[in-house]
């Protein structure tokens, strides 16, 4: 059976890096691609940032490849993650040979809770002076994340994971998160240690080698993975996978990069590595490894885009990756 892949380029450099990822998928596999719209541009046209048919497509496709959305990002990506039933956002941050990274020894994977925390949308303006936000943490979502983390560790060469939290202050919500995750790890016989998330931000800058798999609440995962992007050479390098109960959505961590959009110079690495994660998820482990190998060799030998100190275009990098494949 040919798998059906939904392709949603979105806005800005999403429109430039998604075709690059698609070219790579076409080179190594035989998939049916169905393109759909989402983001600022379609909102301007139709009034809706996420058309119903795009939501339905993501919900029914075997996997979705997403680029980025601009101002409407929250109206697009949060419902899309929901469409695929995603409960975890997997974000690897690895320093590749040949890339001038601040911390070249970094090789860390964030497993970010993807449905609740402060991103659950319960914000209120109560008066002229006062706005509030309700932070949601459930045992069930924390358990599901922890179960995934245990499987992730068992299927990899990692010896355990670190849970990053702020339970010393948010005693109820992060207290529940911390306790639940550590309990699941204990029951499954997986080593787990813990770190306060603010201290983690310092530790990873000073000595990133001590961290492998990091399990964290939603906002912390968002912020700390961008921090790790800075350590390994920038946002142009970080892929991500939103894994769901039924299907999954793959996207670069970066946004629409309005400062370089339209110039054809965006780094396609994050999008191509997201495609590699998609391949792995669909069971094409060998193809996934080949793509990562090709990307690794191009990062090492060039050509490179401007964010990595080179002057190559998105297309130069993509065609070189395809050649290597």
Q: Which residues bind ligand NAI (CB under 6 A)?
A: 13, 17, 68-71, 73, 77, 235-236, 251, 254-260, 266-267, 270, 307
Q: How far from the centroid of its chain's Cα atoms is residue 130's Cα?
A: 33
Of 119, 280, 307, 316, which is the active-site residue?
A: 119
| Cα gap 323→325, rounded to integer Å | 5
| Cα gap 106→316, rounded to integer Å | 27
Of 55, 166, 284, 307, which is the active-site residue?
A: 166
Q: DSSP assignment, residue 171? A: T
Give yes or no: 30 in active site. no
Give least dist CB 99 to Mg ion, A.
20
Give least dist CB 265 to ligand NAI, A.
7
Give yes or no: 166 in active site. yes
Residue 270 binds what, of ligand NAI, Mg ion, none (CB under 5 to 8 Å, by partner type)? Answer: ligand NAI
Residue 222 binds what, of ligand NAI, Mg ion, none (CB under 5 to 8 Å, by partner type)? Answer: Mg ion
DSSP codes of every residue in 129-145: S-EEE--B--HHHHHHH
Give yes or no: 226 in active site. yes
Residue 13 vs 192, nearer CB to ligand NAI: 13
Give least dist CB 110 to Mg ion, A.
11
Residue 91 vs 178, nearer CB to ligand NAI: 91
Give least dist CB 156 to Mg ion, A.
24
Residue 256 binds what, of ligand NAI, Mg ion, none (CB under 5 to 8 Å, by partner type)? Answer: ligand NAI
Q: Tokens 């680029």 sit at which residue?
A: 67
Where does the chain have alpha helices with state H? 14-28, 40-46, 52-60, 73-83, 139-154, 173-188, 197-206, 218-232, 269-281, 285-301, 314-324
Please identify the residue of the shown chain whose CB is closest to the bound ligand NAI: 255
Q: DSSP assignment, residue 163? A: E
Q: Are 86 and 248 in contact (CB under 8 A)?
A: yes
> Two tokens at 21?
């990822």
- Binding residues among 193-232 for Mg ion as defined by CB under 5 A: 222
Give yes or no: 15 in active site. no
Known catalytic residues? 119, 166, 198, 222, 226
């Amino acid at each position: 059976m040919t798998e059906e892949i939904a392709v949603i380029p979105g806005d800005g450099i999403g429109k430039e890096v998604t075709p690059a990822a698609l070219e790579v998928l076409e080179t190594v596999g035989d998939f049916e691609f169905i393109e759909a719209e989402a983001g600022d541009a379609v909102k301007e046209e139709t009034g809706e940032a996420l058309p119903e048919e795009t939501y339905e497509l993501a919900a029914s496709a075997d996997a979705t490849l997403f680029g980025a959305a601009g101002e409407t990002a929250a109206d697009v990506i949060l419902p899309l993650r929901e469409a695929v039933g995603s409960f975890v956002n997997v974000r690897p941050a690895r320093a590749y040979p040949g890339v001038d990274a601040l911390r070249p020894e970094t090789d860390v994977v964030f497993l970010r809770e993807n449905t609740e925390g402060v991103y659950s949308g319960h914000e209120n303006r109560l008066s002229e002076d006062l706005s509030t936000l309700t932070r949601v943490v459930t045992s069930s979502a924390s358990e599901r994340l922890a179960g995934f983390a245990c499987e992730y560790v068992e299927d990899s060469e990692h010896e355990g994971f670190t849970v990053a939290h702020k339970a010393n202050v948010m005693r109820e919500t992060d207290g529940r998160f911390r306790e639940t995750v550590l309990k699941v790890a204990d029951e499954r016989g997986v080593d787990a240690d813990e770190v306060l998330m603010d201290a983690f931000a310092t530790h990873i800058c000073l000595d990133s080698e001590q961290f492998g798999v990091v399990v964290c609440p939603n906002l912390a995962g968002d912020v700390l993975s961008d921090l790790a992007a800075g350590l390994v050479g920038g946002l142009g390098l970080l892929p991500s996978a939103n894994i769901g109960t039924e299907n999954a959505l793959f996207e670069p961590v970066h946004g629409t990069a309005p400062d370089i959009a339209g110039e054809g110079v965006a780094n396609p690495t994050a999008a191509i590595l997201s495609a590699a994660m998609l391949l792995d998820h669909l069971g094409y482990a060998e193809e996934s490894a080949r793509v990562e190998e090709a990307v690794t060799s191009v990062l090492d030998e060039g050509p490179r885009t401007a964010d990595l100190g080179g002057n190559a275009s998105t297309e130069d990098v993509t065609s070189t990756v395809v050649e290597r494949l």
